[in-house]
A and B are shown apart, each in its own frame.
Chain A
Amino acid sequence: MSGIRKTGSRRRIRLGRAGRRRVQTVVMTLSVLMAVASAVVAGSLMASASAPFDTAFAKQHGAQLTAQFDEGRADAARIAATGKLPGVTASSGPYQVAQIDPPGPGGADMQQSETVVGRPAAGGGVDDITLRSGRWATAPGEIVLSADANSVGPDTKPGGTLRISTAAGSPTLTIVGIASSVTDSADGWVVPAEIAALRTSGAATGAQMLYRFSSAATTAQLNADRAAIAAALRKGSMVGAQSYLDVKLAADENTALFVPVMMAFGVLGLLMSVIIIASVVSGAVGAQIRRIGILKAIGLTPGQVVRVYLAQALVPAGVGAVCGVLLGNVLAVPLMGDAAQMYGGGSSAVAWWIDLAVPVAALVLVALAALVPALRAGRLHTVEALAVGRAPRTGRGQRAQRFAARLPLPRAVTLGLAAPFARPVRSAALLAAVVFGTTAATFAIGLTSSASAVTTARHPQQKIAVSVFMGGPDDGSAPAPGGTGGATAGSASADPAQIRAAILARSGTAEVIGQAQGVVSVAGGTGAIRVRLYQGQSGAEAFALISGRWFDGPGEVVVPTHFLDTTGSKVGDTVTLVDGGVQVRVRIVGEDFDPGNAGLTINTDMSTLAAAQPGLHPVFYDVVLKPGTDVAGYVSALRSALPSSGVQVGVNETGHLNPTVVAFDAMSVLLTLMLVSVAGLGVLNSVVLDTRERVHDLGVCKAVGMTPGQTLAQVLTSVAGAGLVGGAVGVPAGLALHDFVIPLVMRTAGSGTPPQVQDVYGLLELVLLGAGGVAIALCGAMLPAGWAAKARTATALRTE
């Protein structure tokens, strides 16, 4: 309960009766509670999501740029000199590099080379390598493997060996440690002297150099840094460079998409409680002006008045903040369990600083929101304050009543219709609460729809019911579609064309899409770029397009937004891909929606790379079934029709719910509910204040024969207008906010926005949301309307 202690006395001075303010106190407490809870959830998800990379990057002095140089064009001394260029704050290297082709975890041929760096020590000022087990390589014949390397499986441990068949004499290395580099600068490290023995004869020789810069916050800055280094050396010396932003993007794939959404919820929640607190306190001051006058007349100082009103806001807000932190923690922990999975191992406890910072920030905001009306109360002129309540009302309310009285509607309804005009400020606060609630609901629903559209767009393979994998060991560990597979002719014993024909022969088959994957680079320097190679033009697997079209034949590629940003190209441009030293010119015909981890994966027809890899054939077939085909029956029939070795048939769980989406949807629904409840509370508060102020007038009406039903109708119609207008303003506002935020969110994730993600609202949905404004207003008004209807008339008439 608010009130102040008079110095030296035990008596508490109260402004307003406790019961009168119970609802306002509850409203303030709940709104702060909800805002703090959603901010805690949002904040902790954000922290747990972005912290791993950022923390590791800072701790390990991660390289902002990892550049590869051709030793044939620039010698070690010149490369090392680039570390002294202006703008470079730290560097490490150059380290000589070898490409090896080790067997995969199960002993399978991975068809993919790995980068081994000759590095004398794990430290070095930039990109400090963290040992997870074992020790650093100290002698020739020893190798430290990166935990992120494809060749490292769960049972790769120090003490094991690795045979390098690509190097002359097929040397065998002893694994002495497992380590990791935050920016993934190599797949393995050996002592510098070992490199020469690992190199394939005849291949180009390269070196790696690691940099940190004074300005490297954006891709543009990093591109400039990279260009400065390239310009300092002979043309063509730098053959590739990897930006830490790309790595971060990969690490933050889901974070980038979902955290801004969570933040939007938290910010909306806080804004809403600020509006509510400000309107509650100014409402309280407005309603108690006479009381303030009386108290000042009997000797309360302005300072004391200000303190009374601050306390009136801060006490319930404090309670709400504490409960909000508790609730936020309760909600965040299970959600973060999901988040920990989707963010790749975040901690599943809310960080202490969030539990501290969120409530403190909320209370500061509350104090500021309350301070303005509290100061007004403190400055109030005593005589004027005493005169309030005796003065005649404003002309606006009277004119509205005059107009409404002529409408051919029941009198109780017309009284309600005109009521908002008598108290323009209060009505504006009510309107603001409804507008905010509707905006929040519209925005939140749009976000949720967009998020699920993102997931659908990111997983176009969902339509694929059955996949047929070729080659690989027949031990059940076939690669999943979308995973890394070999791009070149492998150990497949079956003939791909035969397999394809066999699948096409099944009656349930609608379409067969042969696929392979490869790694290329772009001439002029990017890191490795993955290529999804399709046999033919597969509409079924097409990713959502942001602009342009899907490829239509060899020589055409569809690339994600991040590829365009990184290479500085646009749809319609021609770029040169480099695959195993062979240059292939391709035209970019479309920009697809493929953000995050796969940020640099491009799509093209398999025959595009025919010049570079003549033997290229599909490593798996995705099968689209005709509608109504029994999957289980189809699969068993297909299994018996295909050769028994070297081929596997897998069923994709198309109906399977993505846990990320489930978790995200749960959060969004929860936060939407919270926001809408807070909006409802804001309306409740406005109507409560309004009803309180009008309790005397309502008493008069009841004394002259207004029934409880008519009273209810009057109070409800007095807010219905605000509900309608609020809905009509709030829905477009929510829509505009959504259309503004979604592209921003997508930009953060390094992607453009496809129409499926942008245009998520249906007309019916919008109309319903608009009606939601009225619903919010009416729900908020129901309780006070009920009181007004039930209130004792005799009591009401006694109130001054």
Chain B
Amino acid sequence: MANVIELEGVVKRYDSAGVPALGPVTLTVAEGEAVAVTGPSGSGKSTLLNLVAGLDRPSEGRVSVGGLQIDGLGEKALARFRRERIGMVFQFFNLLDDLNVLDNILLPAQLAGSPRGKAADRAAELMGVLGIAKHAGAYPGRLSGGERQRVAVARALINRPALLLADEPTGALDTASGHEVRQLLVDLHRSGQTVVLVTHDLALAEACAERTVQLVDGHVAVDRSRNAEVVR
């Protein structure tokens, strides 16, 4: 199977002199894989995810996603890359308050200039699958945390991205909502979606991912598949 993510000697420093927040890290994620990134707070998990999403650029090393090397891309190309290949889900949802659920979900498709009808069909399909169709006209402020996160997932998937990135998707949710979102991710993975998930929650990691990458102080401490285990 082809690799969706290839990181090669990736280092991220926030201040040029100091200790890197991340790396050097070399890591590959294959198509269809579900990977959970765990580690203590400040270990560089979000940094890693941002680099993969093209939201930030590495200080050193190479980042390729879906065969496209993104560390040298310009802002415009990165934006295109994100809307075509990446879906992102955040801990605090990051929905736009003044857009209703449907408009929030449609936004990436509209920015990409997809035909209206097609995007609307896709949104309807996603809302059906995610069980939020009845909230299509509601505003995010009115929804529960679990519902909001499902809207965020629908938005992430509208452009059929090759890669779904989720940073603490259950971090702001109560146990019941957390379970819903967990189940959603499991289903997505089963349907063949490549997922990279950052979480503190070992149960979530266990349930959703067949592979766990543990970061400590910006380095990969453990990279363990459900079957084999590699300790570095």
Q: Is the CB of A405 within 8 A of B103?
A: yes
Residue among B56, B76, B98 with most chain A CB within 10 A:
B98
- For A422, the closest partner residue in chain B by CB is B98
- Residue from A400, A412, A699, A789 within 8 A of B111 (CB atoms): A412
CB distance from B100 to the nearest CB of A (A): 7
B99 at the A interface (CB under 8 A): yes
Contacts A392-B142, A709-B76, A794-B56; is A701 near B107 (CB within 8 Å)?
A: yes
A657 at the B interface (CB under 8 A): no
Determine the distance from Cα of A136 to Cα of B113 in the docked complex, in whole angstroms. 95
Q: Is the CB of A706 within 8 A of B97?
A: no
B198 at the A interface (CB under 8 A): no
A302 at the B interface (CB under 8 A): no
B26 at the A interface (CB under 8 A): no
A150 at the B interface (CB under 8 A): no
- For B93, the closest partner residue in chain A by CB is A700
B122 at the A interface (CB under 8 A): no
- Residue from B98, B106, B107, B110 within 8 A of A393 (CB atoms): B98
Determine the distance from Cα of A488 to Cα of B100 in the docked complex, in whole angstroms. 91
CB distance from A793 to the nearest CB of B (A): 5
**Knowing that A412-B111, A705-B82, A707-B79 are A-B contacts, what are 18 other residue pairs whose CB atoms are under 8 Å apart, sorted by A's residue number?**
A392-B140, A393-B98, A393-B141, A398-B100, A402-B103, A411-B111, A418-B98, A697-B96, A699-B94, A700-B95, A702-B79, A704-B83, A705-B80, A705-B83, A705-B111, A706-B83, A706-B111, A793-B56
Q: Is the CB of B111 within 8 A of A401?
A: no
Q: Is the CB of A708 within 8 A of B55?
A: no
- Residue from A393, A789, A797 within 8 A of B97 (CB atoms): A393
Q: Is the CB of A706 within 8 A of B103?
A: no
**Which A residues from 693 to 730 make CB contacts under 8 A with B?**
696-697, 699-710
Contacts A411-B110, A701-B111; is A398 near B76 (CB within 8 Å)?
A: no
Contacts A397-B98, A700-B94, A703-B53; is A708 near B76 (CB within 8 Å)?
A: yes
B155 at the A interface (CB under 8 A): yes
B206 at the A interface (CB under 8 A): no
Contacts A397-B98, A401-B103, A705-B82; is A797 near B108 (CB within 8 Å)?
A: no
- For B50, the closest partner residue in chain A by CB is A794
In the complex, which residues of chain A have a beta carbon less than 8 angstroms from the beta carbon of B180? none
Q: List 10 A-B contacts (CB under 8 A).
A: A392-B142, A393-B97, A398-B98, A405-B103, A697-B96, A700-B95, A702-B79, A704-B88, A707-B111, A708-B75
In the complex, which residues of chain A have a beta carbon less than 8 angstroms from the beta carbon of B80? 705, 707
In the complex, which residues of chain B have a beta carbon less than 8 angstroms from the beta carbon of A393? 97-98, 139, 141
In the complex, which residues of chain B have a beta carbon less than 8 angstroms from the beta carbon of A402? 100, 103
CB distance from A500 to the nearest CB of B (A): 80
In the complex, which residues of chain B have a beta carbon less than 8 angstroms from the beta carbon of A705? 79-80, 82-84, 108, 111-112, 159
- Residue interface bits A756-800, CB-to-B below 8 A is 1, else 0: 000000000000000000000000000000000110111001000
**Which B residues from 107 to 121 make CB contacts under 8 A with A?**
107-108, 110-113
Determine the distance from Cα of A53 to Cα of B174 in the docked complex, in whole angstroms. 83
CB distance from A290 to the nearest CB of B (A): 15
- Residue interface bits B1-27, CB-to-A below 8 A is 1, else 0: 000000000000000000000000000
In the complex, which residues of chain A have a beta carbon less than 8 angstroms from the beta carbon of B142? 392
CB distance from A425 to the nearest CB of B (A): 15
Determine the distance from Cα of A121 to Cα of B111 in the docked complex, in whole angstroms. 92
Q: How many residues of A contact B (CB 8 A)?
A: 34
Q: Is the CB of A797 within 8 A of B98?
A: no
In the complex, which residues of chain A have a beta carbon less than 8 angstroms from the beta carbon of B99? 398, 401, 405
Q: Is the CB of A797 within 8 A of B55?
A: yes
Contacts A704-B111, A794-B50, A797-B90; is A392 near B97 (CB within 8 Å)?
A: yes
Determine the distance from Cα of A650 to Cα of B156 in the docked complex, in whole angstroms. 87
In the complex, which residues of chain B have a beta carbon less than 8 angstroms from the beta carbon of A697? 96-97
Q: Is the CB of A703 within 8 A of B82?
A: yes
- For B74, the closest partner residue in chain A by CB is A708
- For B97, the closest partner residue in chain A by CB is A393
Determine the distance from Cα of A697 to Cα of B75 in the docked complex, in whole angstroms. 17
Q: Is the CB of B98 within 8 A of A708?
A: no
In the complex, which residues of chain B have a beta carbon less than 8 angstroms from the beta carbon of A410? 113
In the complex, which residues of chain A have a beta carbon less than 8 angstroms from the beta carbon of B76? 707-709
In the complex, which residues of chain A have a beta carbon less than 8 angstroms from the beta carbon of B108? 704-705
Q: Is the CB of A398 within 8 A of B96?
A: no
Determine the distance from Cα of A792 to Cα of B103 in the docked complex, in whole angstroms. 24
Determine the distance from Cα of A697 to Cα of B93 in the docked complex, in whole angstroms. 12
In the complex, which residues of chain A have a beta carbon less than 8 angstroms from the beta carbon of B140? 392
Determine the distance from Cα of A398 to Cα of B101 in the docked complex, in whole angstroms. 11
Determine the distance from Cα of A424 to Cα of B83 in the docked complex, in whole angstroms. 31
- For A800, the closest partner residue in chain B by CB is B92
In the complex, which residues of chain A have a beta carbon less than 8 angstroms from the beta carbon of B75? 707-708, 789-790
In the complex, which residues of chain A have a beta carbon less than 8 angstroms from the beta carbon of B110? 411
- For B112, the closest partner residue in chain A by CB is A705
Residue among A705, A789, A792, A794 with most chain B CB within 10 A:
A705
- For A698, the closest partner residue in chain B by CB is B96
Contacts A401-B103, A708-B76; is A703 near B111 (CB within 8 Å)?
A: no
- For B142, the closest partner residue in chain A by CB is A392
- Residue interface bits B156-169, CB-to-A below 8 A is 1, else 0: 10010000000000
CB distance from A407 to the nearest CB of B (A): 12
In the complex, which residues of chain B have a beta carbon less than 8 angstroms from the beta carbon of A708? 75-76, 79
In the complex, which residues of chain A have a beta carbon less than 8 angstroms from the beta carbon of B98? 393, 397-398, 400-401, 418, 422
- For A711, the closest partner residue in chain B by CB is B79
Determine the distance from Cα of A410 to Cα of B79 in the docked complex, in whole angstroms. 16
- For B88, the closest partner residue in chain A by CB is A703
CB distance from B14 to the nearest CB of A (A): 10
CB distance from A694 to the nearest CB of B (A): 10
Q: Is the CB of A392 within 8 A of B94?
A: no
Q: Is the CB of B155 within 8 A of A392?
A: no
In the complex, which residues of chain A have a beta carbon less than 8 angstroms from the beta carbon of B112? 705
Determine the distance from Cα of A185 to Cα of B156 in the docked complex, in whole angstroms. 91
Determine the distance from Cα of A391 to Cα of B56 in the docked complex, in whole angstroms. 30
Contacts A790-B75, A792-B56; is A704 near B97 (CB within 8 Å)?
A: no
Determine the distance from Cα of A706 to Cα of B81 in the docked complex, in whole angstroms. 10
Contacts A392-B142, A397-B98; is A704 near B103 (CB within 8 Å)?
A: no
Determine the distance from Cα of A402 to Cα of B98 in the docked complex, in whole angstroms. 9
In the complex, which residues of chain A have a beta carbon less than 8 angstroms from the beta carbon of B141? 391-393
CB distance from A387 to the nearest CB of B (A): 13
Contacts A401-B98, A797-B90, A797-B94; is A704 near B155 (CB within 8 Å)?
A: yes
CB distance from B53 to the nearest CB of A (A): 7
Determine the distance from Cα of A325 to Cα of B55 in the docked complex, in whole angstroms. 47
In the complex, which residues of chain B have a beta carbon less than 8 angstroms from the beta carbon of A411? 107, 110-111
Determine the distance from Cα of A701 to Cα of B112 in the docked complex, in whole angstroms. 12
- When A and B form their complex, which 6 residue pairs have the shortest distance between CB atoms, in order from nearest? A705-B83, A392-B141, A411-B110, A707-B79, A397-B98, A704-B108
**Which A residues from 383 to 400 make CB contacts under 8 A with B?**
391-393, 397-398, 400
- For A405, the closest partner residue in chain B by CB is B103
Residue among A397, A411, A418, A708 with most chain B CB within 10 A:
A411
CB distance from B201 to the nearest CB of A (A): 21
In the complex, which residues of chain A have a beta carbon less than 8 angstroms from the beta carbon of B96? 697, 700-701
CB distance from B198 to the nearest CB of A (A): 14
- For B82, the closest partner residue in chain A by CB is A705
In the complex, which residues of chain B have a beta carbon less than 8 angstroms from the beta carbon of A707? 75-76, 79-80, 111
Determine the distance from Cα of A793 to Cα of B53 in the docked complex, in whole angstroms. 11
